[in-house]
Structure 1
Amino acid sequence: MRVRIEVERDSEAGEGAQSLFKWLSADPEVRAGAGLSPVRRAAAPGPMGPVLEAIEAVFDSGVQLASLVVAVAGWRSTRPRRDRVHLTRGDVRVTVDSGDPEAVARVLRALGEGDAPEAGSGGAPADRPGRQDW
């Protein structure tokens, strides 16, 4: 299972994605169950170099997916702005903007369905099939 993780409205320097990558890498349950890779974009010429655009997580079970979603929700709770985080698996894209157990369960159901045209239950469909925002 492959999931792309993006922080909405991240800074030009990719500080939110970098912070989330460090948080996930330090979480023992995520680290033990998922391969995490930074996805970098080319930065403007200058000393900063490539900027972290997203994180790619690869794992093979729903338990590992649950650990990842719980860790993302935990990271959000530490942020002053409560950054929204988008998780994409195949054609399914969900937004983590709450850490309450019901929202986490909806995210897990939606992502667990993979490439289903209408993922999850509850919540309002977003701008294309398979996309849910919570």
Structure 2
Amino acid sequence: MTLNPAIENHAAVITVRPDREPGSLWRWLGDDPDAHALLTGFGGPADDEQQGTFEVINTVVANGLALSSLVVAVAGWRDRRRAVPPTVTLERDGVVVDVTGASAAEIAAIARALGIPEDDEPA
């Protein structure tokens, strides 16, 4: 994947894996003005999965604010699903975080776990 040269050196590529309805999540994120700008690709299974197991959404975030937009959009999509919202996993460089909400504290914890700078830190 080729990233935008302006952000290539500072961005974190995040893989988003819903355990079901990946097309629905892709459309939801595409309709969200803040999250839409973060999307870079939608594809098949990760290298370690069998073909057709699930689909992944790739995003690029440069700071905590961008990650916040992504997590809030994912949480909104999850909230509108059935009684048991799908599990959504974010992954960067082998670090895996399951998203279960979008409070400020949860977003900050996700950013720290994924090694993404806070909004006021340089990327």
- TM-score, length-scaled by structure 1: 0.64
Residue 77 (structure 2) aligned to one of 75, 78, 82: 75
For residues 71 and 18 of structure 2, the distance between their equivalents in structure 1, rounded to whole angstroms, comes to: 13
* SS of aligned partner of 1:29: helix
* SS of aligned partner of 1:30: helix
Query: In structure 2, what is the equivalent of residue 39 of structure 1?
Result: 43
Query: What's the offset of the Cα at 1:69?
Result: 1.1
Unaligned runs of 5+ in 2: 1-11, 46-50, 118-123
1:92 corresponds to 2:95: yes
1:17 corresponds to 2:17: no
For residues 63 and 116 of structure 2, the distance between their equivalents in structure 1, rounded to whole angstroms, comes to: 13
CA RMSD of aligned residues (A): 2.2
Unaligned runs of 5+ in 1: 11-15, 44-50, 115-134
Identity across aligned pairs (percent)? 34
Report the number of matched residues.
100
* 1:103-133 residue CA offsets vs partner (Å, 9 max, x unmatched): 333222212359xxxxxxxxxxxxxxxxxxx
Contact in 2 for aligned 1:5/1:54 (Cα 8 Å): yes
Query: What's the offset of the Cα at 1:73?
Result: 1.1
1:31 is aligned with what amino acid?
Answer: H
Contact in 1 for aligned 2:39/2:57 (Cα 8 Å): no
For residues 108 and 29 of structure 1, the distance between their equivalents in structure 2, rounded to whole angstroms, comes to: 17
For residues 79 and 24 of structure 1, the distance between their equivalents in structure 2, rounded to whole angstroms, comes to: 14
Query: What's the offset of the Cα at 1:102?
Result: 2.8
Contact in 1 for aligned 2:26/2:42 (Cα 8 Å): yes
Larger Cα-atom Rg: 1
Query: What's the offset of the Cα at 1:71?
Result: 0.9
- TM-score, length-scaled by structure 2: 0.69
Equivalences for 1:55-74 in 2 at 5 Å? 55-74=57-76
* SS of aligned partner of 1:79: coil
Which protein has greater RCO, CA pairs closer than 8 Å, 6+ apart?
2
* 1:62-115 residue CA offsets vs partner (Å, 9 max, x unmatched): 32111111111111111112111000011210001233443333222212359x
For residues 52 and 25 of structure 1, the distance between their equivalents in structure 2, rounded to whole angstroms, comes to: 19
